[in-house]
Amino acid sequence: MSDENQKEKLRQHFARRVTTQARVVLDTWQKIHEHDREETASFRSEFVAAADKLMRYAQRFEMEAHAKAGEALTNLLKNWPQGDPLPEFLDEKISGTLELLAGCTQRRTDLEQHEPPQQFRRTPVYIALSDSTNAERLIRQLEFFGFRASAFNDADELLSACALHKPETILMDVGFGGGNNSGIAAVERLQERHDTPIPVIFRSEGDGTIETRLRASRCGGEEFFYPAVDPGQLIEKIESYTHGNTIEPYKVLVLDDSRAQAKFMETVLKKAGMIAHIITDPMQIINALDEFSPEIIILDMYMPGCTGMEIARVIRQQDRFHSVPIIYLSGEEDVNKQLHAMSLGGDDFLTKPIEPKHLIATLHNRGRRARSMLALMIRDSLTGLFNHTHTLHLLDQEISRAGQKAQPLSFAMIDLDNFKKVNDTYGHPIGDRVLRSLAMFLKQRLRKTDHIGRYGGEEFAIIFPDTSVEDARNVLNEIRGRFAELQQPAGDRDFNVTFSAGVAGWQGESSQNLCERADRALYRAKDEGRNCVEAAEN
């Protein structure tokens, strides 16, 4: 064997060691997500060791992509305290890094594909439908939205797959397997093997009785469709039950004049994965509100110079904090005084000392309701995107930030092509589903830092912070091409929809002028024949 052949064989051997270690990291992450969050603390050491070993191997054997992924993962894991459950704010960041790692840890068969492999979500969606043709059609649709989906022919095959990789969601025919409620029976067997239930979406063609619905619900059925629905609606439901919709950590402002109590609160909140901002001087409240923009506020009742009730009244005088939950935390046990405090702007009253679990449960409940109320005010009810007014508000904010940081900023207008024809041909319910599919497509392919809004009708707007016009145009062109390939279901037939877009880069002008330039670029795209992206002229 020549020296070159020996070197090549040695290189391949080292490469296998790195890719094998990368799969150990990916498998450990999968294992973490098969357990309740409270149980994840026991896997921290194993995961940290696996990531460190990957980084060292990759650096030693000069595999740059793996080394970068390993280094990024190792740095992220420094924010996971020893003995604590996995913080919620780290979940999505680690998942993003592992998607990059999975992309460079492909088998030879992956590398021989003509198209670059799709970047899928970290865990699969399993499809158990009686009609294999419908199952394959649905899988193709799911892949366009970034899901990794697999279909199964019988219950034993499904159970075996779930034992290896716990799915995020299962779509199941009630009669999967050929018998009455045999699909439900399979799910009952499946759920017995898992500590936490797997969300299941049931479909039924011929049985919508209360007895069947109850049985489905008792074994983890989150949805029950009778009669069966088309792929478009199913994809929307599957999206809602996946971990891709990671909940952003709540931002909690704590005002307590006791430094020891404030430190205790900070520790409890951070352990729960929340973002805490602590102040001990009530005179700093205005600055804290402006700089931190909290979603929940915790106030001590009695402080030097003022009371929590007085601070609450000051906070409520500002419209933007009118609906932010305020929770009093005090040793006050007089119920009448507690009720009086709540009548002056408070939403809840907790008595010291308080159990951390009780505190966190209260914050989650209040935070969830507050976000729901805020969503009603700033989001479009059909697509879930920001509404017209809030989109322009965000654009003003990003223009101010771009000016302060001397960063580029781009703004895009999108309009679906021939949308009136879609409504006239297939009906408004199908048209609404097309709008929702584009909204979901954009959310899954754009960054968390990008802002997406429904501008009106079939028009959408996107704000690209720290992005040049050329980069924004390239991103939109890629999304446009993929969206045009997506089959839109309408009963027994499918159709395709395209969109046109105009992009403008901020040049120091007002938000109104920036919108007008993007709008003119959009009209030029329409004039050029539609299904294209045009950049605004300087």
Please provide the DSSP assignment of 416-452 as one string: ETTHHHHHHHH-HHHHHHHHHHHHHHHHHHS-TTSEE
Among the candidates 213, 240, 267, a domain finishes at 240
Number of domains within the chain: 4
Judge contact between 168 and 120, C-beta under 8 A: no
Establish if 382 belongs to a structural domain: no
pLDDT at residue 129, rounded to an integer: 92
DSSP, collapsed to helix, strand or coil, labels residue 245 as coil
**Residue type at 254?**
V
CATH assignment at residue 143: 3.40.50.2300
Q: Looking at 137-151, 421-435, 449-463, which range is the least confident one? A: 137-151
d(Cα 538, Cα 534) in Å, to the nearest integer? 12
Tokens in use for 168?
């995020």
Q: Which positions ≥6 away from 336 have C-beta within 8 Å?
A: none
Establish if 526 belongs to a structural domain: yes
pLDDT at residue 195, rounded to an integer: 75
pLDDT at 142 over 90: no
pLDDT at 538 over 80: no
Among the candidates 240, 275, 306, a domain finishes at 240
Per-residue CA distances from 405 to 285, 412, 467, 515 (Å): 26, 21, 13, 21
Residues 286 and 370 both lie in one domain: yes
Residues 327 and 452 both lie in one domain: no
Mean pLDDT of 94-118: 57
d(Cα 531, Cα 416) in Å, to the nearest integer? 9
Residues 106 and 203 both lie in one domain: no
Establish if 206 belongs to a structural domain: yes
pLDDT at residue 2, rounded to an integer: 53
- How is 155-183 classified by DSSP, letter by letter? HHHHHHHHHHS--SEEEEETTTTSSTTHH
Establish if 119 belongs to a structural domain: no
For 290-307, b/e burial (b = at least 16 CB within 10 A) is: eebebbbbbbbbebeeeb
For the CA atoms of 260, 265, 268, 270, the dihedral, rounded to the nearest 10 degrees, stands at -110
Per-residue CA distances from 178 to 137, 162, 182, 221, 495 (Å): 21, 21, 7, 19, 32
Residues 394 and 498 both lie in one domain: yes
3-state SS, one letter per residue, for 365-403: HHHHHHHHHHHHHHECCCCCCECHHHHHHHHHHHHHHHH
Most confident residue range from 35-39, 414-418, 490-494: 414-418
pLDDT category of residue 110 using cuts at 50, 70 and 90: very low
Q: Tokens 């329409």 identify what position?
A: 526
CATH assignment at residue 511: 3.30.70.270
pLDDT at residue 254, rounded to an integer: 94
Mean pLDDT of 225-231: 77
pLDDT at residue 476, rounded to an integer: 95
Q: Looking at 106-110, 252-256, 334-338, which range is the least confident one? A: 106-110
Residues 362 and 303 both lie in one domain: yes
Most confident residue range from 32-46, 291-305, 376-390, 520-534: 520-534
Judge contact between 490 and 430, C-beta under 8 A: yes
Q: Which positions ≥6 away from 190 have C-beta within 8 Å?
A: 158, 159, 162, 170, 198
pLDDT at 146 over 80: no
Using one digit for the tens of pLDDT, what is the confidence trace for 209-225?
999 999 999 998 999 99
Establish if 383 belongs to a structural domain: no
Q: Which positions ≥6 away from 436 have C-beta within 8 Å?
A: 232, 236, 382, 383
Please name which of 14, 83, 11 lies closest in space to residue 43, comparing C-alpha atoms.
83
Q: Cα(first)–Cα(last) distance of the chain, in Å?
A: 63
Strand partners, 464: 410
What is the distance of C-alpha 123 from the center of its chain? 14
pLDDT at 506 over 80: yes
d(Cα 428, Cα 449) in Å, to the nearest integer? 32
Using one digit for the tens of pLDDT, what is the confidence trace for 239-296?
777 654 556 789 999 999 888 888 888 999 988 889 999 999 999 999 999 889 899 9
Tokens in use for 228?
């069966």
Report which secondary-structure segment, H or E, holds 73.
Answer: helix 64-77
d(Cα 219, Cα 190) in Å, to the nearest integer? 9
Residues 229 and 283 both lie in one domain: no
Residues 214 and 263 both lie in one domain: no
Neighbours of 179 (CB within 10 A): 10
CATH assignment at residue 47: 1.20.120
Residues 129 and 89 both lie in one domain: no
d(Cα 403, Cα 513) in Å, to the nearest integer? 16
Q: Which positions ≥6 away from 259 have C-beta within 8 Å?
A: 280
Among the candidates 354, 377, 400, a domain finishes at 377
Mean pLDDT of 222-242: 78
pLDDT at residue 112, rounded to an integer: 38
Residues 235 and 256 both lie in one domain: no
**Predicted structure pTM score:** 0.61
Residues 354 and 454 both lie in one domain: no
The residue count for the chain: 538
**Residue type at 8?**
E
d(Cα 248, Cα 274) in Å, to the nearest integer? 9
Establish if 262 belongs to a structural domain: yes
In the chain, DSSP finds a helix count (H) and a strand count (E) of 20, 19
Establish if 246 belongs to a structural domain: no
- State whether the Cα torsion 526-529-530-531 is positive or negative: negative
pLDDT at residue 120, rounded to an integer: 43
Establish if 118 belongs to a structural domain: no
Q: Tokens 């149980």 identify what position?
A: 39
* Residue ranges making up the domain that contains 138: 125-240
Cis check for the bond before 325: say yes or no (omega within 30 of 0).
no
Residues 274 and 350 both lie in one domain: yes
Report which secondary-structure segment, H or E, holds 300.
Answer: strand 296-300
DSSP, collapsed to helix, strand or coil, labels residue 296 as strand
Residues 99 and 149 both lie in one domain: no
